[in-house]
Each structure stands twice: as C-alpha cells, then as structure tokens.
C-alpha cells in the first residue's frame, strides 16, 4: 500500500476532524501518501483529491464539522457514478480508502468494492449513534451534551413558569439521542421511533405527578417519533390541562466543539483504520466495544442495528 485517501460522508458529526487528523498522521507515519477527498462520494466521482500531510491537519482537533466537507451524492447512487469513482481512484493510484460516516456511507463503500474499488475501512460517525459494531459513533457524545445543555436551560424556565415543555431532538430512525439526553436531563418522558410507547398510560402517569405537585414536566421527543413533537404536544397538552411550548433543537446538535470522548475516539479509530489497511484488511468498520477495538463487516452496519437498551427507558420512567 502506497497511497490512501480519506473522506467524510453523510451527516457531519463532531469528532470527524479528530479522525481525519489521526488518519493523515498515522498514514504519514506508515510512509504513505495521504489524500483528502472533498465532499464525500461526490468528490470521489469527480476525482477531487487533495494531498494532505501533517501540516494540513494542524489545529483542527477541537473543531466541529469536517474540513473535507460532506454530502449525499445522487450520482454515486448510480452504477455509472460508482464506476467513475473507482476509475478516479485507479487513475490516482489510490489503493486504500478510509471512509468516515454512518451506515449509508458503508453501503456506498460496499458498492464501490463490487465495481473494483480499492481496499476500504470505515469509521462510524453519526450523532444518531445507530451504527452496529461500535458502542459509540463519533459525534454522539458531543450531540448528547449539546442537547442536554438546552434541556437544562428549558428546565429552568419550565420550573419558573410551571409549563409543560416538549423538546425535539434529532434522530429520524434512532432514539439514542432522545433517551440519553432525556435520562441525563431528568425528563419525565421520552418518545422515540423504535421503542413502542404507551401514550395514554404515560399521560396518566404524568397527570398523577402534576396532581401530586410537580411544577414542571419536560418531555423529550426524537424527530422520528410519529408526526414529531408538535403533533405529540397537541395531543398531550390538553389531556394534562397544561399550557405547553415546543422547542426543536435541530441542527444545533450537529455542530460544536467535540467532547474529549469524541476527540479520543476519533484519534483511536483514525489510527486503527490506517493500521487495518496497512495490515491488508478491507471491507470492515473499526469501532470500540467494551474498550476494545473490533472490526465489523460493512454489511453488518446496515443489516443489524445498534439498539438503545430497553432498560434505559424503563429507568427513566421509574425516576421521572
Ligand atoms: O446526522 C444524522 C441526522 O442528524 C438525523 O438524525 C437527521 O434526521 C438527519 O441527520 C438530518 O440531516 P440533514 O438535514 O442533512 O438531512
């Protein structure tokens, strides 16, 4: 292996820059030439490769987003686009690829391999934390803490005004952010797409708490739950006889300086990905599980799911 490239794809996640830095520096340490690909798979199709060395990744470890840019490429979804990406890689004599992103990114990597792409290793990065093969995807810890900061602030005003608040967090198909930020923020209830909720039983539980003197009720809702937080609020509010407000945190959760955990994970997995490529491995995602680095085949990242443990929600209900 002589020349490798690194790209970030899908939704950006805090810690991607820490991973890029680690990939570049580990590559240089191995005596490889390292290239960055602009805007994910779109850049691959267009052959946008930029040489990178130790100096091109200075002072990025603390910054959110990704210096390489990211995106979702319609062109790469086509067989034609996949072929031109493989051709661009061959033309530039790149024989190893590190892909940083979510399960969609690794589906793309499999497609690329099937049209003759180079050896490829993935790093799980998504604030949704739903990549099978890693206890924590890059960006998740930062996003939870960002959501938690907002929940804490809303709690202050909720207590003062005795209002019912709904906070919508990201997670189109995943409740990791909602359950984790909800539990840490002392939410009275959490609703997310993949865990069935007993809505009327929850309302009865909340009504009993309010009647017993609870001054504020804060409910965290994943964006993928039913029709979202506004629809849920319109159903629950009148049934509790409480005035309510809805706050959507949206893309504030995707940005910001990564936490120590996300920076450390980026460093660890960036180096692990390059080491795996150099050792001749391909078609796998590197991830941390119970403090060990494990390698999971690309296919498992979309055929299996990284589920929120059901006991987290039960715990929240017992405490809320
Ligand atoms: O990064 C993951 C995610 O935040 C999902 O939770 C969300 O549904 C989606 O990205 C929204 O991203 P975009 O605005 O790029 O479509």
Task: For 260-311, write each residue's pLDDT tens digit.
Answer: 999 999 999 999 999 999 999 999 999 999 999 999 999 999 999 999 988 8
Q: Do residues 277 and 98 touch, judged by C-beta distance below 8 A?
A: yes
Nearest C-alpha neighbor of 151 from the set 19, 67, 253: 253
Q: Do residues 177 and 170 touch, judged by C-beta distance below 8 A?
A: yes
- What pLDDT, on a 0 to 100 scale, did the predictor assign at position 215? 82
Can you tell me which residue has the tokens 């794809």?
Answer: 9
Centroid of ligand 1 to alpha carbon of 305 (angstroms) = 17
- What pLDDT, on a 0 to 100 scale, did the predictor assign at position 196? 83
Probe residue for ligand 1, chosen from 10, 11, 40 as the CB with the greatest number of ligand atoms within 8 Å = 11
- The yes-or-no answer on residue 200 being catalytic is no
- What pLDDT, on a 0 to 100 scale, did the predictor assign at position 109? 97
What percent of the chain has a predicted confidence (pLDDT) above 90?
90
The DSSP element (H or E) to which 105 belongs, if any, is helix 103-114
Residue 181, pLDDT > 80, answer yes
Identified catalytic residue from 12, 103, 128, 262: 128
Can you tell me which residue has the tokens 């039960």?
Answer: 314
Question: Mind listing the pLDDT tens digit for each residue in 131-157?
Answer: 999 999 999 999 999 999 999 999 999
pTM (two decimals):
0.96
CA 222 centroid distance within chain? 14
Question: How high does pLDDT run on average in the chain?
Answer: 96
Long-range contacts of 76-79 (CB under 8 A, 24+ apart): 76/41, 76/42, 76/44, 76/45, 76/108, 76/111, 79/115
Probe residue for ligand 1, chosen from 144, 172, 179, 253 as the CB with the greatest number of ligand atoms within 8 Å = 172
Q: Do residues 167 and 160 touch, judged by C-beta distance below 8 A?
A: no
Q: What is the mean pLDDT of residues 248-256?
A: 97
What token pair was written down for 91? 């033309």
The 3-class SS string of 49-101 reads EEEECHHHHCCCCCCCCCCCCCCCCHHHHCHHHHHHHHHHHHHCCCCEEEEEE
- What pLDDT, on a 0 to 100 scale, did the predictor assign at position 314? 83
Q: Binning pLDDT at 50, 70 and 90, where does residue 56 land? A: very high
Residue 320, pLDDT > 80, answer no
Measured CA to CA, the distance from residue 252 to residue 254 in angstroms comes to: 6
Q: Binning pLDDT at 50, 70 and 90, where does residue 162 land? A: confident
Question: Mind listing the pLDDT tens digit for each residue in 82-132?
Answer: 999 999 999 999 999 999 999 999 999 999 999 999 999 999 999 999 999
Centroid of ligand 1 to alpha carbon of 61 (angstroms) = 23
- What pLDDT, on a 0 to 100 scale, did the predictor assign at position 310? 82
């Amino acid at each position: 292996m002589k020349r490798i490239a690194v790209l970030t794809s899908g939704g950006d996640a805090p810690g991607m820059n820490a991973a890029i830095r680690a990939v570049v520096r580990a590559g240089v340490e191995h005596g490889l030439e390292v290239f960055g690909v602009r805007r994910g798979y779109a850049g691959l199709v267009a052959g946008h490769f930029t040489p990178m060395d130790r100096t091109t990744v200075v002072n990025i470890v603390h910054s959110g987003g990704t210096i390489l840019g990211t995106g979702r490429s319609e062109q790469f979804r086509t067989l034609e686009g996949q072929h031109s990406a493989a051709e661009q890689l061959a033309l530039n004599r790149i024989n190893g690829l590190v892909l940083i992103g979510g399960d969609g990114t690794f589906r793309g990597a499999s497609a690329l391999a099937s049209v003759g792409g180079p050896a490829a290793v993935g790093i799980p990065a998504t604030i949704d934390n739903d990549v099978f093969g890693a206890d924590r995807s890059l960006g998740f810890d930062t996003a939870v803490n960002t959501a938690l900061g907002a929940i804490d602030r809303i709690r202050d005003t909720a207590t003062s005004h005795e209002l019912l608040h709904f906070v919508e967090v990201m997670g189109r198909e995943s409740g990791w952010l909602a359950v984790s930020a909800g539990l840490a923020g002392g939410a009275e209830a959490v609703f997310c797409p993949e865990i069935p909720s007993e809505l009327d039983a929850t309302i009865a539980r909340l009504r009993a708490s309010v009647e017993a003197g609870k001054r504020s009720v804060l409910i965290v809702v994943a964006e993928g739950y039913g029709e979202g937080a506004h629809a849920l609020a319109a159903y629950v509010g009148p049934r509790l006889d409480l005035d309510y407000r809805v706050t959507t945190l949206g893309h504030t959760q995707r940005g910001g300086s990564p936490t120590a955990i996300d920076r450390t994970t980026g460093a660890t997995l960036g180096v692990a990905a390059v080491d795996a490529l150099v050792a001749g491995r391909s078609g796998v995602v590197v991830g941390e599980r119970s403090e060990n680095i494990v390698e999971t085949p690309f296919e498992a990242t979309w055929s299996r799911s990284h589920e929120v443990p059901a006991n987290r929600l039960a715990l929240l209900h017992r405490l809320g």
